[in-house]
Structure 1
Amino acid sequence: MKNRIIAVTALSLTLGSLPQLAQAEASAIHDPYIEGFKAYAQEVKKVSDELYSAANAYATDVFKTERKAGHIGNPLPIPKAVKVTDGVYTVVGSMIWHTPANFGLNNNLSFIIFEDGVFVFNAGANTALAYSLHQQIKAITDKPVKWLAVENDQGHAYLGASYWVDVGVKNLYSSSLANDTFDSEFTEKKTEWSERVGKNITNDARNVSDKFTTFEGELTIDVGGGETVQLKDFGPGHTPASTSLYIPSRKVLMTGDLGFNERMPVFFKYTDSFAWADSYKAMLDFIPEDTLIVPGHGTPTDMATAKKQMYDYLVYLHNAVQKVVDEGGSVDDAIAIDQSMYKDRPVFEQAAKNNARHIYQEIMNGSF
């Protein structure tokens, strides 16, 4: 906050009835300014209960102001939102891993402007990113953000959610599995993103999973003006829980992490690549061919390109690795499969061999 100055004697007259500092501290995430006033309050308590009450009240007021703002600071220098079609925008994240240089923005953050308000897809990796996205939204429309949905339980989808709660968004949505996973693994996820992106930028993230409305399979949301948003879980993909967002009236599908465009798909230990292909096929069967695609990673594209970039890659690698297994080949033979046609995709060097190894292990372990 600007010009944080306290005139203690005046505050003792005006703020003495506010809640105690300890109550604010119970909810604060180690704000150094509030921490400083906590120490100051303890010092002046030795001199005057009146001064102690004033210091408590001021710090509580600061805490409430900060919380209501969601984030205090300047917008981050993130990419400008790309217009996909009328009223539909996406900020295309970095094509590499989450790092301090990209502020944890290595997925796409999207928003749709409806008659009654704005729908945001993905909360961002931290409150600073969420705030920065919000500033871009405000530069385009004066309509309030009314809805938020997240693609999965990963940090860049969820950790910024507390910002949106703090600025008054009431309608938050997630698949049940993603919300349960994020809730149970919040501490680990926050620690990992703090270490990879930075403690200062991640520090004020809070677990607000209790604020989410959860669904199984599909949820249709009335967003006014005769339009609806359909949240669909087509099945496991990059992560076990994967939400896509479909807007029939705009002919737009935001695939979440089911879809990668340009960037090389990445398999984690919990990724079921065969289920991913099945889920993507289910998505293809559900969506009209003239639908515009906003992938979880990469730039917006058409349905044919999206299929080639993601589904066709999975099918190619599944078939190639299966051939290695059928011929009695080893994991080294699987790793040696020619994937050079994809070498221009970001993170190819880090992902290609691991993807082949992952599929080989899935086949050999019978886990598909």
Structure 2
Amino acid sequence: MSARWIEVADGVHVRRHEELDLSLGLVVGDDACLVVDTGGDEAQGAEWAAAVRAVTPLPWTVVLTHAHFDHAFGTQAFLPCPVLAHPNCVDELVVEGAEDKDKWAAHYDAQNQPEIAANIRATRIALPNTLVSERTAVDLGGRTVEIAQFGRGHTDHDLVLRVPDADVVFAGDLVENGAPPAFEGSFPASWPTALAGLLDLTGPDTVVVPGHGEPVDAAFVAAQRAEIAAVVELTRALTAGSVTLEDVFRDSPFPAEATRRAIGRLTGRNRSAR
């Protein structure tokens, strides 16, 4: 699978994958390193682990930003080690992991990528073993990585990681670059609040690493927050009857399909999406 390194600060690396435009992270301290997300299957996880080992021999800790397959299914390749995640991440992997394996294997079969499909089917989903439900920090020796959760957004368990001395923030899929936010299964009404929390960690020179796409800055995050908030307001107007669905699609900052998914989350039977 094609991938390349970007060093966004001294000892802070991003592994950029062509498939799904995925970004995985590595933070290296004096005594240990921290791996941000593990990839989409056990084989990709093994490739990722080998790439990390080419950079540093230090013992690693893994943090999962959320439970979606492309960020969490490669964990087995890193064990044994501490694997940190929000409690709801564990719940989602337990409840939906097997179904997600079938869903994404079928997707790659349909895309005529049988090797990836087979790798997903063969993957053993490894559960996080250290739960993060409040702000915490991981000491890597000479540098710490702060971990926070700002409420429901892309999922109900998105973790954000900040490397203060490097002025880098790993946003997971709370931020998307190169594609619209992924609204399927999301919580659009509270997503702008989660991004406001993320923005509190940033300054004008902060590098923000999205879950997909090239690194961005705080201004990009603020603009995406405003776009999500605009879709929420358009949907509220639609529900109130003051605009039509055609108006919403015309005025939405996102393509029709992404807008439709956001509307579905805001108006559908799953009211927890609000």
- Equivalent residues of 1:118, 1:147 under 8 A apart: yes
Partner Cα distance (1:82, 1:175) in 2:
27
Unaligned 5+ segments in structure 2 are: 109-115
TM superposition shift of 1:321: 3.2
- Equivalent residues of 1:232, 1:245 under 8 A apart: yes
Q: Does residue 60 of structure 2 align to residue 150 of structure 1?
A: no
Matches within 5 A, 1:339-350: 339=252, 348=255, 350=257
Matches within 5 A, 1:162-177: 162-165=76-79, 168=80, 170-177=81-88
Q: Does residue 24 of structure 2 align to residue 109 of structure 1?
A: yes
Q: Does residue 39 of structure 2 align to residue 121 of structure 1?
A: no
Pick one of 97, 104, 109 that aligns with 1:186. 97
Specify the code of the residue in structure 2 equivalent to 1:181: E
- Equivalent residues of 2:147, 2:160 under 8 A apart: yes
Q: Does residue 137 of structure 2 align to residue 220 of structure 1?
A: yes
- Equivalent residues of 1:116, 1:143 under 8 A apart: no
SS of the aligned residue for 2:200 comes to: helix
Partner Cα distance (1:213, 1:285) in 2:
26
Partner Cα distance (1:145, 1:312) in 2:
40
Pick one of 258, 265, 269 that aligns with 1:351. 258
Pick one of 233, 236, 239 that aligns with 2:152. 236
Partner of 2:226: 312
- Equivalent residues of 2:4, 2:17 under 8 A apart: no
Q: Does residue 195 of structure 2 align to residue 280 of structure 1?
A: yes
Partner Cα distance (2:229, 2:149) in 1:
21
SS of the aligned residue for 2:144 comes to: strand
Specify the code of the residue in structure 2 equivalent to 1:316: A
Pick one of 45, 48, 72 that aligns with 1:133. 48
- Tell me whether 196-205 or 244-253 shows the greater mean CA deviation: 196-205
Pick one of 258, 271, 274 that aligns with 2:174. 258
TM superposition shift of 1:229: 1.0
Q: Name the CA shift for 1:290/1:157 in 2 (closer, same or farther; >3 Å).
A: same
Structure with the bigger percentage of helix = 1
Q: Does residue 5 of structure 2 align to residue 91 of structure 1?
A: no
Could you say which structure has the larger radius of gyration? 1
The alignment yields a C-alpha RMSD, in angstroms, of: 2.6
Partner of 2:74: 160
Specify the code of the residue in structure 2 equivalent to 1:160: G
Unaligned 5+ segments in structure 1 are: 1-75, 95-101, 343-347
Greater length-normalized contact order (CA 8 Å, ≥ 6 residues apart): 2
Q: Name the CA shift for 1:201/1:106 in 2 (closer, same or farther; >3 Å).
A: farther
Identity, in percent, stands at 20
Q: Name the CA shift for 1:200/1:145 in 2 (closer, same or farther; >3 Å).
A: farther
- Equivalent residues of 1:335, 1:356 under 8 A apart: no
TM superposition shift of 1:253: 0.5
Specify the code of the residue in structure 2 equivalent to 1:336: F
TM superposition shift of 1:242: 0.5
SS of the aligned residue for 1:89 comes to: strand
Partner of 2:111: none
- Equivalent residues of 2:162, 2:170 under 8 A apart: yes
SS of the aligned residue for 2:181 comes to: coil
- Equivalent residues of 1:334, 1:357 under 8 A apart: no
Question: TM-score, normalising length from structure 2?
Answer: 0.86
Specify the code of the residue in structure 1 equivalent to 2:210: P
- Tell me whether 79-88 or 141-150 shows the greater mean CA deviation: 141-150
SS of the aligned residue for 2:190 comes to: helix
Partner of 1:200: 118
Question: TM-score, normalising length from structure 1?
Answer: 0.66
